[in-house]
Structure 1
């Protein structure tokens, strides 16, 4: 305790006893006696009890520091401490009564010389009064963090224009950052983290030219990162993690040459690529963009961030290979690339990063041999699970051995001789085959062009089609579109009900090319493609050229009829449940993968939409109208690569934006249409809906509030039961009851496929792989987190699940 003898020293001006482990309380009348004290510094002891109310008599106080003790209760009136410059109450248990915890702030208005004020890490509760703005204009540092202060941040706080440090972190503040904060022209540290602040990060942040420390993490900020932040040329530390920020990372951030400590943008919804400008952060120590929606390659320029010690890129959609330039980061200690889509091998040069203590490349698509030196020599420092094609490495990693790629030198000569002989024989056989093909084509070219033959297709005449469709009557009309009309018919030659698509193309000629393309399309066969039976090239009864395709007839009509009940056929007993829709989505994806990846020549659909997806008796989806662009080219006498010049590029709403700028049709264009198709299947809304206003479209309608409450996007015709979606499999057995996480996965795929930039869209191989995983989770009801892990993918990335 403080010796009682001190109480008689009425002329004492200073009492300093910091960090001496003194135990006890302060007598209530203490400051009646020590009324001339100017410096009272007792921080870092074990004092307890309340602050004596007699402090009001110590009107000469310049410094008052009782920090790091165990004081409790309320702070007494301080209005007579007019010379007070330093007031430190931090790390106590003051407050705890929300009704008047902060009333003493009103009395501080008389402390016109107050320079530093801290109540950091106490139990102060209640709303911060507007009187906070009446504190001294000379106030330089204000610490209010780690309390329980609630309500909105008073705009009056912006009157304290002399502040260089403002700490409001880890309270219960809500609402937006007051615009008056733009007046903080001297502010150097701004800490608003750990609150419930929302809205956009205000652009006036860029006006705070002296700012070097900005911490806004653990709030609910949305919108994009303001590019104006690039005006803060003194910034060394940026912490924006755990918010709801969207859009791209502005390039201005990477041009902050002062950024030396940290850039943390993790746990947001930032999208597109990590710009190559990241290499401009030459002196950054920590770079964390994990748990976002970033995609594309990891830029090789990241190897130019020569001061990097911690690099975290996990839980994004990065693809491509691990850049070799990472080996240039000689000071790198922590590297996490897990839960992405990286492929290729682990670069050997990474074992040369001597300071690397932690490496995580789990759940990617890496393959090949794992190095054994450097960080790879310690199994406790390396995480590689979820890469099923990795091999080798140290024994503790328990990987399979790599296959032997070479043989002993003694055996090489023998096998080389055998290889030469086999190559020579193979060359002769290929040469003979080429000569035979050339001779056959030469013979075929001598045939009359006036009488082309249908090599593989069964012959059918215009008269057969006219008779089988009752003269192409309206009663037999089952659909129409930009390419022509479809009729239901019966053909004796096929002994089956067929669908006849009469092409509405005015371009004449190229008769033989059309037949060749029809033959090619007939050889394209897949369980989810409508099978082409034959085609017809003839003249109608009016002497006009006639071209038609004949398909198998699908009894359950087009998917469009099922999605939009206003045109629903009476034959259909009900609308589609979620299980059916998921199966149809997977069927269409499977067909698209076959067209893009597995055909001898890539086939681009160019008009994928629900009306071109037909359903058979078992509700299996079949894609129709594939290869129409190729047929159009054949009739017009143009090449397939130039189909964009002939004016037929699909249907408005499903057509990717680049087609409007005379770009060629492409597989990435098909992926955009597929993304819009998926959105329509799940939402029941057409891509150009009457409800959309101000240029909004289906993609933006979902993206603007994704991934929150995805159930509100669903087609209202889906059946809800106790707030959950009811889905059944084909055996009418109930599926996994909690499907919201799986729906987030589906919507994420759809939004990624329908991105405006072709480079940001998913390819069909990744789509079908992820759809298969989602289906397994739906139809088995197993724990989805474990299921995704076993499948080599990360549930949190696919389903948007956040820790």
Structure 2
């Protein structure tokens, strides 16, 4: 009995010991896991260079990491389950240590400024279910390593800079429900293997550069609800298998190159379709009759195709909100073309109706007024609709847009339009409307666009139009409007895009209040009966670019204030009664492209500079008292010039007596003509360069950069700031360099850059997209250059990551650095030896070397560049503004400012040494006579590995654990280095040292360098 009790006690004791041991292990495991999570989060924090909202203030030891901002932990194990930092405007790269959050299920990093590639370590997160990286600046190819995240359900990589093709191994993401990678730079075709993602419900590949056809295998995705492929280069017809996806709710193919016709039964086999958007393609044939069965349809956009025939009845539709049929060949110009509109009367959700630019005929049906008052936009322009505009349209009180232009409408503008107080756009131009413009138009206080041109309106412009205080565009041309221009019109501060009153019968004077239109771009009051003086206040329209006053009865002189309109491009004052002379100051308007003052009563000398030096850009005929000007105008010489010419003729007769003197004067004339032609050619080249590049306005750039927002600021240079922006959504980002015109030399810098870049086209030079030389909204000069955007930013950011992040994974290996050096060398070789005249950069440094998607180097920033003649070797320029950057600028620039290509060679040598050592030439150790050149020279050739950038060595040895802090044995590293790698390093150091010697005459030139680099590269690749 006792033995049995003892045995029981032993068993209980054993179980208690085991339980204690197991619990201790579990606690230790959890504690270790918690430390791993905390460490990973802190490493992630270190990878952030800018935290404007200070969200990381809570990420410190004063609280448990589960309480940090954006962190959610599991209740049981206290491990990080979710990390949500969306919309925090963070700047930095995604730390690879995030791969250590082994319990992570949800990762939200969208709406930030993360750059670089997606780290491979994310593939270790096997519990990850949701990943959103939308709206960042990530680069590289599609991160196929995420396929290791076997439980991933939702993947969104929208609005980044991913390149390359969608991998054929996409089928590895077997559990994906949502796959969205729209608005990137993907190329190639959609892989058929995508049809193996059987769980997929959402597929969005829009706004890339995908091409080819839609693979028929997508028809296998029986759970697909949303398919979005717009804004690509996809072509061919839609596979029939897609029309059998009965689960499909959203089908969007806008702006591709699809063709073919729609199957008659498509809306029967797609019964759940709610959004069908295929505009901007080449579909033909008719609209299937089965469309009437699409009872759940909410948005139908089949515009801008080649569809023909009648529109079927849409009677079963109840939920339609947008119906877009424009830009087709629908209808037959017959009276029953618009019968289908009757079936929309019960569509209570209808918001947008667009039937414009078709062949619809007949009268505008009055029952349109019975449409839901929810209707906000009605487009029917560009058809053959006739008859009167129904007064009942005034009942659609929520109308914001009404566009009926380019039809054959007759009658008057209904007075009931005064009830449409939400109206913002009213376009009735190019019809046969008559009567007076109703005063009730002034009730449309939110109107910003009013187009009534090319009708038969009579009477006065109603003064009530001054109540339209949001008006930006007013077009009343080609009517029979009489009376004077109401001064109230000039009290509309927003009137900016255009004011066109031309080809009417307006009389009176142009009011002095015209100067109140500070923001007007285009003003045309030509072909009227306006008289009086051109008001001096016209010079207060500071953004005016186009001014047309021709065909009136203006008298007096041209106001000198015209010369203050610095952005003026066109001026037409012809067929008036103007007198006096042409102000010489007009020749200083650098953007003036067209000037017409013909058939007035002008007198005096015609200027000869600016626009006046191009006979095809000016017209002064019909002014018999004008003289001078360029010879092509064939005007009589001015009296003073005639006297000079007679004196010169007599002098030549006297000189002809002596053969020697005659010979000398002839030689002098020949040389003089040569120099004048050369100057004229350079001047013309400058102007033509600006003309070629000048394509955008201040307003365009303001909009492209969100008002030059600090979020879009990517750099600040000597003469201005560089912003990231979007001019064209289809073309992605550009870099916009805005010059600070208060800085000395900035205006000159702009002109020099334009000239230097006129014919400078090379693969390794940053390409100029366009430029802007205008005035801002305060009337100040505004100059900017627009360059192609380089998603991998500058070499500076790769060589010296912010905050000294040695763990950064975006390390440049030797191969990449070699290619960058070669690319920069090719650029300088082109500038120094292949241009008509050598171009000197004067400020070569890592921050001026930008890297594209493929890490190809592009030399940027010609703000300090100067064209140098080759006569007598190099011309010495007094360039007090050229100093370059300390550390990169050659010693001789500090003494005499004698710039030469040899100065660029010094900067190039320092650049190579910096790339190889990882040390800036401005570090604290390089003072008191020490410099980067001497630092490298002391170790050359035997001890080079002691000064080589540690990250470079670690990459080349494939030993990521080798860092500066660990200080591995140098000889051990040397043994591991490949022979080609050592030879390459030795050769590059040799060039860097040879280029950066103190004496300019002893430096290599770029012809020698490029030859040597080609040899080095061939040897490195074993060619």
Q: TM-score, normalised by structure 1?
A: 0.50
1:738-785 deviations in Å (ceiling 9; x for gaps): xxxxxxxxxxxxxxxxxxxxxxxxxxxxxxxxxxxxxxxxxxxxxxxx
Alignment of 1:742-757 (within 5 A): none
1:313 matched to 2:549? yes
1:384-403 correspondence to structure 2 within 5 Å: 384-403=620-639
In structure 2, the CA distance between the partners of 1:100 and 1:398, relative to structure 1 (3 Å rule), is: same
- Find 2:279's aligned residue among 40, 43, 62: 43
1:656 corresponds to: none
User: Take 2:641 and 2:326, find their aligned partners in 1: how far apart are those partners?
Assistant: 67
Q: Which has the higher contact order (CA 8 A, sep 6+)?
A: 1
Counterpart residue number, 2:339? 103
1:2–1:405 distance in 2 versus 1, CA, 3 Å: closer
2-structure distance, mates of 1:406, 1:357: 30
Per-residue CA deviations over 1:598-619 (Å, capped at 9, x if unaligned) read xxxxxxxxxxxxxxxxxxxxxx
- Which residue does 2:249 correspond to in 1? 13
2:467 corresponding residue in structure 1: 231
**How far is 1:314 from its partner?**
0.0
Instruction: State the SS of the aligned residue for 2:616.
Output: helix
Shift of 1:257: 1.1
Structure 1 equivalent of residue 610 of structure 2: 374
The Cα of 1:7 is off from its aligned counterpart by 3.0
- The reply on whether 1:356 has 2:607 as its aligned counterpart is no
Distance in 1 separating the partners of 2:374 and 2:592: 47
Alpha-carbon contact 1:80-1:110 (below 8 Å) kept:
no
Shift of 1:406: 11
Q: Is 1:182 equivalent to 2:418 in the alignment?
A: yes
Matched, 1:155 2:399: no
Tell me what 1:221 maps to: 457
Are 2:298 and 1:81 equivalent residues in the alignment? no
Match of 1:25 in 2: 261
Paired with 2:590 and 2:244, the residues of 1 have a C-alpha distance of 65
Q: What is the rounded CA distance, in whole Å, between the counterparts of 2:572 and 2:449 in structure 1?
A: 25
The residue that corresponds to 1:269 in the other structure is 505
| Shift, 1:362, TM fit | 0.5
Which whole-Å CA distance do the structure 2 matches of 1:100 and 1:166 have between them? Answer: 22
Residue correspondences, number: 409
Which residues in structure 2 correspond to 1:402-801 (within 5 Å)? 402-404=638-640
Unaligned runs of 5+ in 2: 1-236, 648-1023
Deviation at 1:30, TM superposition (A): 1.4
SS in 2 for 1:60: coil
Instruction: Quote the Cα distance in structure 2 between the aligned partners of 1:361 and 1:65.
Output: 49
The answer to whether the 8 Å contact 1:62/1:83 transfers is yes
Is the CA contact (8 Å cut-off) linking 1:56 and 1:80 kept in structure 2? yes
- Residue in structure 2 matched with residue 322 of structure 1 by the alignment: 558
Q: Distance in 1 between matches of 2:367 and 2:574?
A: 50
Partner Cα separation in structure 2 for residue 293 and residue 407 of structure 1 = 42
Q: Label 1:320 to 1:53 Cα distance change in 2 as closer, same or farther (>3 A).
A: same
- Matches of 1:8 and 1:395, distance apart in 2: 74
Q: Confirm or deny: 8 A CA contact 2:335 2:363 kept in the other structure.
A: no
CA RMSD of aligned residues (A): 1.4
Q: Partner of 1:304 in structure 2? A: 540
Give the corresponding residue for 1:61: 297
2:382 to 142, 146, 170: 146
SS of 2:577's equivalent in the other structure is coil
Q: Any idea what the Cα deviations from partners look like across 1:596-650, whole Å, max 9, x if unmatched?
A: xxxxxxxxxxxxxxxxxxxxxxxxxxxxxxxxxxxxxxxxxxxxxxxxxxxxxxx
Cα deviation, residue 9, structure 1: 2.0
CA displacement at 1:178 relative to structure 2? 0.8
What is the distance in 1 between the residues matched to 2:246 and 2:557? 76
How far is 1:207 from its partner? Answer: 0.5
Deviation per CA, 1:157-195: give whole Å up to 9, x if none: 111111111100000000001111111110000000000
Deviation string for 1:289-330 (max 9, x for gaps)? 000000111111111111100000000011111111100100
Cα displacement (A) at 1:97: 4.2
Q: Does 1:118 align with 2:354?
A: yes
- Alignment check: 8 A CA contact 1:86 1:117 kept: yes
* Equivalent residue number for residue 253 of structure 1: 489
Instruction: Give the superposition deviation at 1:3.
Output: 1.6
User: Which residue matches 2:524?
Assistant: 288
User: TM (normalized to structure 2)?
Assistant: 0.39
User: Where in structure 1 are there 5+ consecutive unaligned residues?
Assistant: 412-803
Once the 2 structures are TM-superposed, how far is the Cα of residue 2 of structure 1 from its aligned partner?
2.3
Q: Say which SS state the counterpart of residue 22 (structure 1) adopts.
A: strand
SS at match of 1:293: coil
3-state SS of 2:513 partner? helix
CA contact (8 A) 1:41 1:65 kept: yes
Aligned to 1:451: none
